[in-house]
A and B are shown apart, each in its own frame.
Chain A
Amino acid sequence: MKRSGAQVVVEALLKEGARTVFGFPGGAMIPLYDVLYETKEIKHILTRHEQGAAHAADGYARATGKVGICMATSGPGATNLVTGIATAYMDSIPIIAFTGQVPTSMIGNDAFQEANITGITYSITKHNYLVKEVNELPSILKEAFHVASTGRKGPVLVDLPKDILMGETKIPYPQEAKIRSYNPTHKGNPKQIKRAALAIDKSEKPVIYAGGGVISSEASAELIQFACRTQIPVTTTLMGLGAFPEDNQLSLGMLGMHGTRYANYAISETDLIIAVGARFDDRITGKISEFAPYAKIIHIDIDPTAISKNVRADIPIVGDAKDILSQLIPLVKKGEEREKWHAKIKEWKEKYPLKYEMGEDLKPQYVVEKIYEVTKGEAIITTEVGQNQMWAAQFYQYTNPRSFISSGGLGTMGYGFPAAIGAQVGCPDKIVFDIAGDGSFQMNIQELTTAVNYKVPVKIAILNNGYLGMVRQWQQLFYRGRYSQVDIEDSPDFVKIAEAYGAKGIRVDKTREVEPALKKALATPGPVVLDFKVSREENVYPMVPAGAALTQMIEGLA
């Protein structure tokens, strides 16, 4: 059947099960928006900035496991997506970005609202396409969904020139994608898995180090089964929070720069690291030459490039975490021994718990703990980037995958709020909290309109200390207290801002007001901005200074 390129795009969305898209129209995209106008099955959420659309699609994808869709027009619309695409790329999140483009005949002419968005995004997309022939559009769209959602997932951009959207094709939408050069490995090599099982059985002090790959491959159940069978303690990365329940006694919480002392000590003393879907990022390893000096490393990852990139793996296993853990579980012995190791970890846990001191001021950590309590640990938490992100990671206990949503790799300020909108749209029955900072929140504050208009009941908890807090902390600790360009106490009144947008605003500056305010926020149907005036110079501890070894953690300096 003959249909326009724009109709083919919408057909692809419907056939791939995409019912929600986030976007912002513009000249080159009008043909597509014209088809969306009559497509009632697809809900288009109009954000107030394209970056908000990209982050919302990303938050939607992380919360639901489905492919997130965002769209923007050519030129500035497309370039405004770039930070969102890079965020998704660094954290391996499946989104598809559709961008308008000037007509094919005008490409390269510096036409109005022209930008070479495929060129700009080569290194921040898993793959991208500039459609130059309308008959190729159906197969390109099929491929785009396939590439985004398989292997190591990631963002795919499809650039759609206006004449392609308006052109016509009879080519049907394909049933499956055929790409001869793309065949991700899922099953692990049985020989390597046997070697891994032997190493695990022999190890006296093993640790599992789990990352975002466990969540992405839906392998939490297998991870829990594996850890419980072998009785091996589990530490997760920031991206892996929720992959293993933190209330399980085998949990060591998060490791790395702001990880727990006991996780970092365990990694530094272990004789065997079982890395699953994690990539030995510099925020995890600290000084690489002193990382895990006694450990043999089993590295399970779907992406061969992640293996032996930063740290050489002794037993690499390429494949899907879920498949490999399932293959591995029956091969390993049940772990009843290693009492000494467990005793040591228990000792560390008792000696070095995560802690903070209550004072006259309201403490940000306390706010996060209270959010955990009032939501019974069942909320989806998104974060901005900086101190708020670390406190959200440390003081909320994550017990379910896809319950912690944060820009881990790129560290994008302004991510958390639009991502919360996307997560809430994808999971309407969940409570969604954005744990924010006063700096980050202002980077996409315009999306309050989106939340209000679409009645998206996200709760924004601003840990407002009047500083760009993480930078201030570094300046305090490592730059002799020279606070350069971090004081933002001149920010607007967030309660009034919320009200101006039609949301509810609540200010809290006393410890005893926290719980009632949170309960009030949860009882309020729409979006709520909670402005927590917290202790101004509170620091995130423990902390491994950049470039130091994991054992050199600092704590509670004045």
Chain B
Amino acid sequence: MKHTISVEVENRFGILARIASLFSARGFNIDSLAVGETEDPTISCITMVVPGDDQIIEQVIKQLRKLIDVIKVVDLTQQDAVERELVLVKVNAKRTDRAEIMRIVDIFRARILDVHPFSFTIETTGTEEKIKGILTLLKPFGIKKLVRTGKIALSREGKTG
């Protein structure tokens, strides 16, 4: 099962290398990783999606907590949390397909950021399911390029762990 793990760390040189080193040394995998500053500039938040059974996830969390520069680790999968990911996708857009693609963009409340005679660049944010949904519908037109930020997440107010 995939777990979304939120890791608050000291906003310090080398912390990402420490975490990467931990994951490679212990043989843990990471599906996605998003890093950024929090409301407190001395603290960064790393949101990672980690696959593994319960025993592996337990070790991942404990090993992360053991790093000296790690302040807090929360498994957001265990609680009610809001999750979002942003995706940029460049999709083939022939004249005959344009109306259809724009309809899909509308339905998913995505946006077209760049228009080219043969392609659209589309921005979409949402949960994993929503992104999977729009990508499935865009795929038949031919996806030329795709980048994603990796998931970020926050627990809902009043239900913090």
Contacts and interface: CB of A to CB of B under 8 A. Distances in A.
Contacts of B70: 181
A482 to B, nearest CB: 32
A179 B21 contact: no
Contacts of A309: 59
A127 interface: yes
A181 B10 contact: yes
Contacts of A308: 55, 58
Contacts of A122: 17-18, 21-22, 25
Nearest to A308: B58
Contacts of B58: 308
B68 A123 contact: no
A123 B71 contact: no
B14 interface: yes
Interface string B94-117: 000000000000000000000000
A118 interface: yes
B17 A119 contact: yes
Interface in B61-94: 62-63, 65-72
Contacts of A181: 9-10, 68-72
Interface string A303-323: 111001100100000000000
Contact of B66 (A118, A119, A303): A303
Contacts of A132: 13
Contacts of B10: 181
Contacts, number: 41
Contacts of B59: 305, 309
B21 A305 contact: no
A182 interface: yes
A123 B22 contact: yes
B65 A127 contact: no
Most buried by B among A130, A132, A180: A180
Interface string A163-202: 0000000000000000111100000000000000000000
A305 B18 contact: no
A305 B63 contact: yes
Given A123-B22, A123-B25, A180-B71, A305 B14 contact: no
A126 interface: yes
Contacts of B21: 119, 122-123
A132 B9 CA distance: 19
A309 B9 CA distance: 24
Nearest to B9: A181
A126 B63 contact: no
Interface in B30-45: none
B40 to A, nearest CB: 11
A127 B67 CA distance: 8
Given A181-B10, A181-B69, A181-B71, A304 B62 contact: yes
A348 B58 CA distance: 39
Contacts of B66: 303-305
A183 to B, nearest CB: 11
B68 A179 contact: yes
Nearest to B71: A181
Contacts of A223: none
B68 to A, nearest CB: 4
Nearest to A306: B62
Contacts of A127: 67-69
A305 B13 contact: no
A147 interface: yes
A304 B66 CA distance: 8
A13 B9 CA distance: 29
A305 B62 contact: yes
Interface in B114-139: none
A439 to B, nearest CB: 28
Interface of B: 9-10, 13-14, 17-18, 21-22, 25, 55, 58-59, 62-63, 65-72
Interface of A: 118-119, 122-123, 126-127, 130, 132, 147, 179-182, 303-305, 308-309, 312
Top 3 nearest A-B pairs (CB, nearest first) are A122-B21, A123-B25, A127-B68
Given A122-B17, A127-B67, A304-B62, 8 more contacts: A123-B21, A123-B25, A147-B68, A180-B71, A181-B10, A181-B68, A181-B69, A305-B59
22 contacts: A119-B17, A122-B17, A122-B18, A122-B21, A122-B22, A123-B25, A126-B68, A127-B68, A132-B13, A147-B68, A181-B9, A181-B10, A181-B68, A181-B70, A181-B71, A303-B66, A304-B62, A305-B62, A305-B63, A308-B55, A308-B58, A309-B59
